[in-house]
Amino acid sequence: MQSTPESISNILSQPTLNPALKAIGEKVIRHERISSEEALVLFEQGEIGFLGALANHIREEKYGDHTFFNRNFHIEPTNLCVFSCAFCSYSKLYKHREDGWELTSEQMMHIVKKYDGIPVTEVHIVGGVHPKLNLEFFCDLLRKIKAHRPDLHLKGYTAVELDYMFRKAKVSTEEGLNMLKEAGLQSLPGGGAEIFAPHIRTQICEDKVDGEGWLDIHRTAHKLGMHSNATMLYGHIESYADRIDHMNQLRTLQDETGGFNCFIPLKFRNQDNDMSYLPEASVIEDIKLYAVARIFMDNFAHLKAYWPMLGRNNAQLMLNYGVDDLDGTIDDSTKIYSMAGSEEQTPAMSTDQLCELIYQAHRVPVERDTVYNVIKVYEKEAVETN
Ligand code: V47
Ligand code: SF4
């Protein structure tokens, strides 16, 4: 087990510890939920040694050293988008479609077929919001993928894509989700959440689905028996209070439905977008955010560091600050983060490389499926070469 950076009981017994932090720490040890006000105290007064010890305590109580990953690939059907989020480095407006891409169903099936015989368990389908790729097109695509590879878990479409797709098709959220589910869709990814607070959302992504709409789509998906993830785009113009408000709305929905698999903080990257004038968050701020998220989101089973965006070194570091999941091998099939300035220009890791990253942090890699069923525990001596 990791004892990073010091065990929590040692820290809590130090007479010099700030009494407000001590009270919060003791609450967490007793498995009591902390309030939004207490989360603000953690952000404002907690230094990373304290936050890390507390978050690591929670993580190790849940999973010991086990660290989850999956074998997946992404399909990005298009980067043409009717919206113009200020932080996005990836999309092109439809009127500039000559600068973007738009894959046909056949081209996407070609990507799926490249994985024939390769033991991936999930395909993640997310792209821009294209005015012409509609609900019927995507139901047809899902059916084709399922017919070709029934064992692949189909996770796709952010609430932003779904909201647009359903409005265009003039169907309710429930009708639309049922159609996609019948076509083979099993889970929703967590994108499009950004920051729910309207005073921030209007500045960074004014024209797409609002926070309430995002939550409503996930609530409906959960009621239909689908699972989903939740994200938060942090490190731009939002305050600590805005982050806490966002996490609190997710925590409240999770109390209601229990349908979220994991929480994924997404670090704002500042290359080639309308918010490039902003500096990126420091690694200290990254650590604080992950640790506070682990402490505050007590009803989320998993906290994921998405390495293609955070970079593999910082993602590895976060394994000591509450993170228990590193997403997947990805296989160079996403462009979102390389275009936004991530150090991962061609995000691909073999299972061996991902396992090595986890061993270096003195953890044990565990391959999982999309809903966290364990596929294989990779004890150090049992790593396969592939
Ligand atoms: O919603 C866009 C983010 C998200 C930037 O559910 C940016 O397993 C940082 O949904 N800097 C889409 N982030 C990605 C997404 C996702 C990714 C990984 C795993 C899962 C999952 C979902 O990407 C968008 C937005 O928040 N994004 N531009 C940027 N410049
Ligand atoms: Fe479009 Fe998504 Fe980029 Fe916003 S973040 S512009 S919705 S692709």
Cβ 190 under 6 angstroms from ligand 2: no
β 364-368/374-377 pair status? antiparallel
**Ligand 1 nearest atom to the CA of residue 342, by list position:** 11
User: Nearest C-alpha to atom 7 of ligand 2 is from which residue?
Assistant: 83
Which residues, judged by CB distance below 6 Å to any ligand atom, belong to the binding site of ligand 1?
Answer: 87-89, 126, 158, 189-192, 194, 229, 231, 233, 264, 266, 268-269, 273, 306, 309, 327, 336, 340
Question: For atom 5 of ligand 2, which residue has the closest CA?
Answer: 88
Q: Please give the Cα distance from 377 to 380 (Å, whole number).
A: 9
pLDDT band at 340 (very low <50, low <70, confident <90, very high): low
CA of 361 to the centre of ligand 1 (A): 25
Ligand nearest the Cα of residue 91 is 2
Pairing of strands 364-368, 66-70: parallel
Please name which ligand lies nearest the alpha carbon of 189. 1
Burial class (CB in 10 A: 0-12, 13-18, 19+), 17: middle
pLDDT band at 336 (very low <50, low <70, confident <90, very high): low
**Atom 4 of ligand 2, nearest CA residue:** 85
Is the shortest distance between the CB of 84 and ligand 2 below 6 Å?
yes
Domains, in order of start, for the chain: 5-63 (no CATH), 66-385 (3.20.20.70)
| Ligand 2 neighbour 160 (Cβ under 6 A) | yes
How much distance in Å is there from the Cα of 370 to the middle of ligand 1? 17
Report pLDDT for 98. 79
Q: Whose CA is nearest to atom 27 of ligand 1?
A: 88
Quick one: which ligand is closest to 273's CA?
1
Among 78, 102, 125, 205, residue to substitute to test ligand 2 (most atoms within 8 Å of Cβ)? 205
Confidence of residue 151 (pLDDT cuts 50, 70, 90): very high
- Closest ligand 2 atom to the C-alpha of 84? 6
pLDDT at 359: 96
- Using the mean position of ligand 1's atoms as its centre, give its distance from the Cα of residue 288 in Å: 20
The set of residues, in sequence order, having a beta carbon less than 8 Å from that of 275 and lying 6+ positions away, is 86, 87, 204, 236, 237, 268
pLDDT at residue 328 in the model: 83
pTM above 0.85, yes or no: yes
Residue nearest to atom 4 of ligand 1 (CA): 191
The full DSSP string for 71-109 is: -EEEE--B-EES---TT-SS-EEGGGGGGS-B--HHHHH
The answer on pLDDT for 109 being more than 60 is yes
Confidence of residue 157 (pLDDT cuts 50, 70, 90): very high
Distance 284 CA to ligand 2 centre (A): 28
Question: Residue 158 above 60 pLDDT?
Answer: yes
For the segment 362-376, what is each residue's pLDDT rounded down to a tens digit? Answer: 999 999 999 999 999
Mean pLDDT of 263-270: 97
Q: Kindly give the number of the ligand 1 atom that is closest to the alpha carbon of 269.
A: 11
Are 376 and 367 a contacting pair, CB within 8 Å? yes
**Three-state secondary structure call for residue 353:** helix
Distance CA 314, CA 377 (A): 23
Least confident stretch, 74-78, 138-142, 325-329: 325-329
> For the chain, what percent of residues have pLDDT higher than 70?
93
